[in-house]
């Protein structure tokens, strides 16, 4: 009977040899000993990278309060809204490079009572002026005579001509040059006279 036992023992050894081994569930390591990244690891890394890239954009967007107030605390002019201190109407320049403010004769008369601006007549040829005018600059030389304007691009400047055609051309040029506090007399000095104000001839 012993030989039979040997046969059974051999079969048992053969069965054990053919039995599949259980998979090794331990983390696979590189030769350096560090763990390899699986799909979940790569996905998490990609998420972190996207988050880091979008944070500056979110910060930039949140710097504007959404109501036209920039991070500096200054109010951004809104086209069609009232100008600074409720004076005039904000107008977009034709080139889209900025804005200026249209004012009425009554608003200009009120501003002249406490004058705090540079007052420029750009009409050619000379056909009269409004009292307290500071400069006479031909509208067709507006771009060439920017050096006659204040160096401060935020300086308050009021521009007029006879009908407001020439003054708008001048204002457009100065908006393109970076001036941000420009006012135009809507209707020019013709509207000024029609409103009952005096036009001076010198």
Domain edges within the chain:
84-194
How many beta carbons lie within 10 A of that of residue 162, not counting itself? 21
pLDDT tens-digit profile of 43-102?
777 777 777 776 655 444 444 444 444 444 445 678 889 999 899 999 999 878 899 999
Q: How far is CA 40 from the centre of its chain?
A: 39
pLDDT in tens, 126-172: 999 999 999 999 999 999 999 999 999 999 999 999 999 999 999 99
Q: What is the CATH number assigned to the segment(s) 84-194?
A: 3.40.250.10
Lowest mean pLDDT of 4-13, 87-96, 114-123, 181-190, name the range: 4-13
* Selection from 129, 117, 57, 54 nearest residue 88 by Cα: 117
For the whole model, what pTM was predicted?
0.64
Which residues, at least 6 apart from 169, have a Cβ–Cβ distance to it below 8 Å?
122, 139, 140, 142
Backbone conformation region of residue 38, classed left if phi is above 0, alpha if psi is from -120 to 50, else beta: beta
Report the Cα 118 to chain-centroid distance in Å: 28
């Amino acid at each position: 009977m012993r030989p039979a036992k040997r046969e059974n023992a051999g079969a048992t050894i053969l069965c054990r040899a053919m039995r599949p081994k259980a998979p090794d569930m331990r983390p696979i390591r590189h030769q350096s000993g560090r763990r390899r990244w699986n799909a979940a690891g790569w996905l998490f890394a990609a998420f972190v990278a996207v988050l880091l890239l979008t944070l500056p954009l979110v910060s930039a967007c949140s710097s504007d309060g959404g109501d036209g107030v920039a991070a500096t605390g200054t109010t951004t002019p809104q086209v069609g809204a009232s100008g600074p201190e409720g004076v005039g109407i904000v107008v977009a320049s034709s080139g889209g490079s900025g804005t200026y403010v249209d004012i009425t004769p009554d608003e200009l008369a009120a501003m002249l009572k406490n004058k705090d601006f540079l007052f420029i007549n750009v009409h050619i040829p000379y056909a009269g002026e409004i009292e307290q005018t500071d400069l006479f600059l031909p509208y067709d030389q507006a771009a060439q005579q920017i050096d006659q304007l204040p160096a401060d691009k935020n300086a308050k400047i009021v521009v007029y001509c006879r009908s407001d055609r020439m003054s708008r051309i001048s204002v457009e040029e100065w908006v393109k040059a970076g001036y941000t506090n420009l006012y135009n007399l809507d209707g020019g000095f013709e509207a000024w006279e029609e409103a009952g104000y005096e036009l001076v001839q010198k």
